Amino acid sequence: MGLRTKVFFASSVALLTMISSTVTAQNTAEIKPAGIKIPTIDELAKNPKFSSFTVSPNGKHFAAIEKNGEKTQILVWETENLSKAPNVIGTAVMKFTYVSFIKDGVLMVGTFQPFDFRFESVVKTFIGKTLITDITGSKWLDPLPLPAPKTNTDALEQAASSASLLDPLVNDPDHVLLVNNFGVTSGDIYKVNIRNGKAEKIQRAVEKTGGYQTDLEGNIRARSRGDTDSTGYYFALEFKNEKGEWEEHLRSYAKDRDQGSIVGFSKDPNIAYLATNRGRDKIAIYEYNIKEKKIGAEIFAHTFFDATGIEQVHIKGPNFGDIIGFNYSGPREDEEIVNDKVLAFDALIRNALNIKKDKVKFVDPATGNYANTEYDIDNYYNIVDTSLDKNVVIIEVAGPKQPPAYYLLKDKKQLMLLGRARPEIDAKSLGTEELVYYKARDGLDIPAFLHKPNPEIYGKGPYPTVIHPHGGPWARDHMDWDWSNWTQLLTSRGYAVLQPQYRATADGWGKKLWLAGDKEWGGKMQDDKDDGANWLVAQGIADKDKIAMFGFSYGGYASMAASIRPNGIYKCAIAGAGVSNIDTIWAKFYQNPYFREAQAPTVKGMSPELFVDKISIPILVYHGERDQTVPIEQSLKFVNKAKKLGKPVKYLQIADYAHGPAWTEGVRKTELAAIEDFLNNDCGFGKK
Between these two residues, 15 and 648, which has the higher pLDDT value?
648
Residue 660 pLDDT level (bands cut at 50, 70, 90): confident
Between these two residues, 664 and 186, which has the higher pLDDT value?
664
> What is the rounded distance in angstroms from the CA atom of residue 232 to the CA atom of residue 254?
8
> What is the rounded distance in angstroms from the CA atom of residue 173 to the CA atom of residue 264?
22
- Lowest-confidence segment of 44-48, 250-254, 327-331 by average pLDDT: 250-254
Nearest 5°: phi and psi at 161? -115, 155
What residues contact 217, with CB distance under 8 A and at least 6 apart?
A: none
- Lowest-confidence segment of 111-115, 155-159, 622-626 by average pLDDT: 155-159
Residue 608, CA atoms < 13 Å, CB-side half-sphere:
33
Positions of E strands within 313-401: 323-329, 333-337, 358-363, 370-375, 380-386, 392-399
Mean per-residue pLDDT of the chain: 90
Length of the chain: 688
**DSSP code at position 606:** -
> What is the rounded distance in angstroms from the CA atom of residue 15 to the CA atom of residue 258?
46
Give, for 642, the enclosing helix (H) or strand (E): helix 633-644
Q: Give the mean pLDDT of 97-104.
A: 96
Q: Find out whether 33 and 79 touch, Cβ atoms under 8 Å.
A: no
Between these two residues, 586 and 532, which has the higher pLDDT value?
532
By the 10 Å C-beta count (0-12 exposed, 13-18 middle, 19+ buried), 441 is classed as: exposed
Q: Find out whether 537 and 462 touch, Cβ atoms under 8 Å.
A: yes
Between these two residues, 425 and 27, which has the higher pLDDT value?
425
pLDDT, tens only, 14-43: 333 333 333 333 333 333 345 899 999 999
> What is the rounded distance in angstroms from the CA atom of residue 344 to the CA atom of residue 340?
6
Positions of E strands within 241-280: 246-253, 260-265, 271-276
pLDDT value, residue 26? 32
> What is the rounded distance in angstroms from the CA atom of residue 535 to the CA atom of residue 561?
20
pLDDT value, residue 390? 92
pLDDT value, residue 84? 96
- Lowest-confidence segment of 252-261, 460-469, 513-522 by average pLDDT: 252-261
What residues contact 19, with CB distance under 8 A and at least 6 apart?
A: 352, 407, 415, 416, 417
Integer CA distances (angstroms), 304 to 333, 450, 515, 519, in order: 13, 19, 16, 25
Instruction: Give the 3-state DSSP-derived string for 335-357, with helices as H, strands as E and coil as C.
Output: EEECCHHHHHHHHHHHHHHCCCC
Integer CA distances (angstroms), 95 to 170, 258, 392, 579, in order: 28, 39, 27, 29
Residue 451 has pLDDT above 60, yes or no: yes
pLDDT value, residue 5? 37
Question: Domain coordinates of the chain in residue numbers?
Answer: 58-169+172-207, 217-313, 431-682
pLDDT, tens only, 248-278: 999 998 888 888 999 999 999 999 999 999 9
Residue type, 261: S
Give, for 538, the enclosing helix (H) or strand (E): helix 524-538
- Lowest-confidence segment of 65-74, 280-289, 327-336, 580-589 by average pLDDT: 580-589
- pTM of the entire predicted model: 0.92
Q: Find out whether 233 and 598 touch, Cβ atoms under 8 Å.
A: yes
pLDDT value, residue 301? 98
Between these two residues, 152 and 32, which has the higher pLDDT value?
152
What residues contact 515, with CB distance under 8 A and at least 6 apart?
A: 257
What architecture (CATH level 2) is domain 431-682? 3-Layer(aba) Sandwich (3.40)
Q: Find out whether 299 and 271 touch, Cβ atoms under 8 Å.
A: no
Give, for 668, the enclosing helix (H) or strand (E): helix 665-677
Q: Find out whether 436 and 499 touch, Cβ atoms under 8 Å.
A: no
User: Of 333, 332, 290, 335, whose CA–CA distance to 311 is shortest?
Assistant: 335
Buried/exposed 337-352: b ≥16 CB within 10 Å, e otherwise: bbbebbeebbebbbeb
Give, for 512, the enclosing helix (H) or strand (E): helix 511-515
pLDDT value, residue 183? 72
Positions of E strands within 7-94: 18-20, 50-55, 61-68, 71-78, 87-90
pLDDT value, residue 317? 92
The proportion of the chain whose per-residue pLDDT surpasses 90, expressed as a percent, equals 75
* 102-106, 121-125, 128-132: range with highest mean pLDDT: 102-106
Q: Give the mean pLDDT of 174-178.
A: 96
Residue 325 has pLDDT above 70, yes or no: yes
Residue 545 has pLDDT above 60, yes or no: yes
